[in-house]
Every structure is written in C-alpha cells, then in structure tokens.
Structure 1
Amino acid sequence: MSKRIDVEHLNVYYGDFLAVEDVNINIEPRSVTAFIGPSGCGKSTFLRTLNRMHEVIPGAYAQGKVMLDGEDLYGRGVDPVTVRSMVGMVFQRPNPFPTMSIRDNVLAGVKLNNKKISKSDSDALVESSLKGANLWNEVKDRLDKPGSGLSGGQQQRLCIARTMAVKPDVVLMDEPCSALDPISTIAIEDLIHELKEQFTVVIVTHNMQQAQRVADKTAFFNIEGTGKPGKLVEYDDTATIFQNPREKATEDYVSGRFG
C-alpha cells in the first residue's frame, strides 16, 4: 500500500499571500518523515497540500506538482475526495465523531466513500483496523459505546484506526501527540514505528526528541520574518539533521538557539 511522494516546485497560497515557497522534496515509501521548524513556518500548511486538505479553506490553493508514485495529485480531472482516501490525515487533537460508537467511528471513512460492505466484512475491518492501531484489546468489549468516552490517547488511536480502515497509501499526522500525556505519546510513537511497515508516514512535530525517535528523515522549515513565505531549508537523514546539519539555521533550531 505504501507509495513514494515526489513534490516539485510547490507554492502554497492563501488568496494572494504566498505561505510556502518552492518546496522540492522526495519522500520514500515505508518510511517516517518528520517536518520540524518554528511556528508559522508553513510545515502544517505544506502537510495539508499532500492530500489536498489545504484547498478546503476558501481562497487557498497550491501550484506545482505532488506526485504519488508518479501520478500528479493536482493533475487535471483528479478528484480531491479520491486523493484524501489515498492519503489519510490524523489531526492535532483527537476528533472522534462524538455521537458515533467506537465501531461506527472506525467505519465512518469507509461509509463516507459510499463503499458497500457486508456485516461480516465490516466486523473484520473494524477488528483489523483497531488491532493495527493497538487499540483492539482495550475496546473489543465496548464497540457499541461512544468513541468520545475513551481517553485522549485512546481517541487518537481510534482516529488512526479510522484512517487505516480506508486503506490509504500514505498517513499524514499533524502534531498527533501535542494534546496527549507522556504515556499516550509513547503508545502513538510505538504505533508510528509499526505503521511504516505498511504505509508512508509523514508527521509534523514541535518535539525535537520525538522527531529523533520516530523519523527516518527530517525536513527543517523556516521563515525569514512576518509576512514572508515559509521555505524548506534542509532535508536529510534524521541523524544528519540533528548531529551534522549543513545549514546554520538548522543547527541553531535543533540546538534550541531559536524557535
């Protein structure tokens, strides 16, 4: 299921404002890539262009190419809804549907895509998705209870299970642990390591230690000042970014001198 992402000369706009400028990056399949950088540098904005969530905002658009195994996700006639089923998104705060059961939360994306599925197939999909999110043993006896009744860390894993149920090629995560306690954070990080066996995983994080723990490669984004566009400054193996970066701005950021 995992696929390669190649981004070429991508510019991201909010109306007339250029928010992210000329990003070129290649993300390998079955890997974890972390985006780091100070607040406002465009890393989350850029992340959302990878499944066309950015253009949900009125007036927002992107120019350039985002290739998924050679297919341009911004090509003529490409359906954004189809793109979002291939490239799933897990958000900063857990967002299970509060009126839905745990089971229905897992199946929500599948039903949203109008996929017909039998009771036996849906039962199997719920179980496999929850097992994939390391949540099955904790909730298997209360699948009909509201998803909102779970703890924060469990809710985030439920949202990951919901993403996995659609069988995407890529999983995007926008600061998935920022609202979680340390124990839940460890559970999500362990899960990220497991997810890369099947998926291409891209994560935005402000946690330098987290990037070092989970990411194979790390991309550092920066911004020159208010009103300026965010830019990709450096992209390399995670160990190189944190121990021997090429750019002084990268070294200053990862060493805590700014940001």
Structure 2
Amino acid sequence: MSKSIEAIDLDVYYGSFLAVEGVNVRIEPRTVTAFIGPSGCGKTTFLRTMNRMHEVLPNATVKGQLLLDAEDIYASGVDPVRVRSKVGMVFQRPNPFPTMSIRDNVLAGFKLNGIRMGRAQAEEITERSLKGANLWNEVKDRLDKPGSGLSGGQQQRLCIARTIAVQPEVILMDEPCSALDPISTLAVEDLIGDLKEHFTIVIVTHNMQQASRVSDKTAFFNIAGTGKPGKLIEFDYTDKIFSNPNEQSTEDYITGRFG
C-alpha cells in the first residue's frame, strides 16, 4: 500500500506570488518525514501539494513534478479526487463531523464518495479502522454516540481512523498535536510509530522534540524574508539533522537562535 513521494523542481504559486521554490526531495515508503522551519516558510503549502489540497484556494498552481511512485499527480487528466483517496490528510485541529456518530465519522469517506456497503462490511471497516487508530477499546461500546463528545485526543485519533478507513497509501499530518495536551500528544505519537508499518507519513511540526521522536528523516524549510519564497534548505536523517546539520541556518533554527 505504501508509496514513495518525489518532488522534482517543484514551485508553488498563489496567483503570481511564488510561495515555495525549487523543491527537490524523495520520501521513501513506510517512513515518517518531519517538515520543520519557521512560520511562513512553506511547510504546510508544500504538504498540501502532495494531495492537491492547495488547489482549493483560488489561483493556486504548481510547476514541476510530484510523483507518487512513478505517477505524476499533476499530469494532465489526473483526477484530484482520486489523488486524495490515495493521500489522506489529518489537520491541525480535530475535525470530526459534529452531527455524525463515531461509526458514521469513520465511514464518512465512503459515504461522501457514494460507496454503498452492507452492514457487516461497515462494521468490519469501523472496527479495523478504530483498532488501527488505537481507539477501539475506548469507544467500542458507544459507536452510535456523537464523535464530538470525545476528548480532543480521542477526536484526533477518530480523524486518523476516518483517514485510514479508505486505505490510503500516504498520510499527511499538519501539526496534528498542536491543540492536544501532553498525554494525548504521546498517544498520537505512539500511533504514528505504528502506522508507518503500513503507510508513508509526512508530518508538519513546530515541536522539535516531536520531530526528533517520531521521524526517520527531517526536512528543514526556511525563508529569506517577507515576500520571498520558502525553500527546502536541508533534508537528511533526523539524527543527522539534529546532531550535525550541514547548514548553519538549520542548526540556528533547531537550537532556537531564530524562528
């Protein structure tokens, strides 16, 4: 299931504004990659190009290639909806559908795409997905209760269950723990370690300790100043980035000298 991701000379525009310039990076299957860097440097913008979510904004365009294995997801005729079924997204704040039950939240991706299934299949997918998100034992006796009634950490894991239910190949996470308490954060971090056995995971985080704990490789993005494009400065194994980076700006950011 898991796929590699490769950006080749990727530029991201909002109208005529060049937001991210010249990204070249290859992310291996079944790994966790952390994107770090100061606010406004293009981390989330680049993350959203990986499942064409940035196109939701008016006049957003991409130049270059972004390969999911060997397929350029920006090639002519590629359906963005199909891309998003392969590349799931978990957002900064938990966003379960408030009027839906826990069960219906898990199955929402199928319903939104008009996929019908029998009761037995729906129950199997619900249980498998909630187990995959380490949430099953906590909610198995209240699947018909609203998802919005769960704690913040449980809601985020419910959103992860909703993402993995449709069996994507890549999971993108945009600061998934920023709104969570330390205990819930640890639960999600532990879950990320489990999920990488089956999925390629890319996470944006401002938490340096989190990046060092959960990721195999780390990409440092930076920006030269207001109005300038964000750029990928350095990409390497996480241990190397945090102990002996090649670029002085990487070390300065990690040690808190700027950003």
2:39 & 2:158 partners in 1: Cα distance?
27
Counterpart position of 2:222: 222
Secondary structure of 1:209's match?
helix
1:4-41 C-alpha deviation (Å, 9 max, x unpaired): 11110110011110000010000000000000000000
Counterpart position of 1:211: 211
Q: Which amino acid aligns with 1:36?
A: I
Counterpart position of 1:44: 44
TM alignment of 1:14-93, pairs within 5 A: 14-93=14-93
Counterpart position of 2:113: 113
2:166 & 2:48 partners in 1: Cα distance?
18
TM alignment of 1:99-178, pairs within 5 A: 99-178=99-178
Counterpart position of 1:258: 258
Q: Unpaired runs of 5+ in structure 1?
A: none
Counterpart position of 1:248: 248
Q: What is the TM-score with the length of structure 1 in the denominator?
A: 0.99
Q: Which amino acid aligns with 1:170?
A: V
2:116 & 2:194 partners in 1: Cα distance?
29
Alpha-carbon distance, 1:137 to partner: 0.4
1:116 & 1:61 partners in 2: Cα distance?
34
Q: What is the TM-score with the length of structure 2 in the denominator?
A: 0.99
2:29 & 2:144 partners in 1: Cα distance?
35
Q: Which amino acid aligns with 1:46?
A: F
After TM superposition, which residue ranges in structure 1, 4 or more long, deviate above 2 angstroms? none
Q: Unpaired runs of 5+ in structure 2?
A: none
1:209-229 C-alpha deviation (Å, 9 max, x unpaired): 000000000000000000000
2:114 & 2:249 partners in 1: Cα distance?
47
Secondary structure of 2:20's match?
strand
2:141 & 2:87 partners in 1: Cα distance?
30
Residue identity (%): 75
Alpha-carbon distance, 1:174 to partner: 0.1
- Equivalent pairs counted in the alignment come to 259
Q: Which amino acid aligns with 1:125?
A: I
2:114 & 2:13 partners in 1: Cα distance?
31
2:165 & 2:113 partners in 1: Cα distance?
11
1:214-254 C-alpha deviation (Å, 9 max, x unpaired): 00000000000000000000000000000000001001001
Counterpart position of 2:98: 98
1:92 & 1:122 partners in 2: Cα distance?
27
Secondary structure of 1:97's match?
coil
1:201 equivalent to 2:195? Answer: no
Counterpart position of 1:4: 4
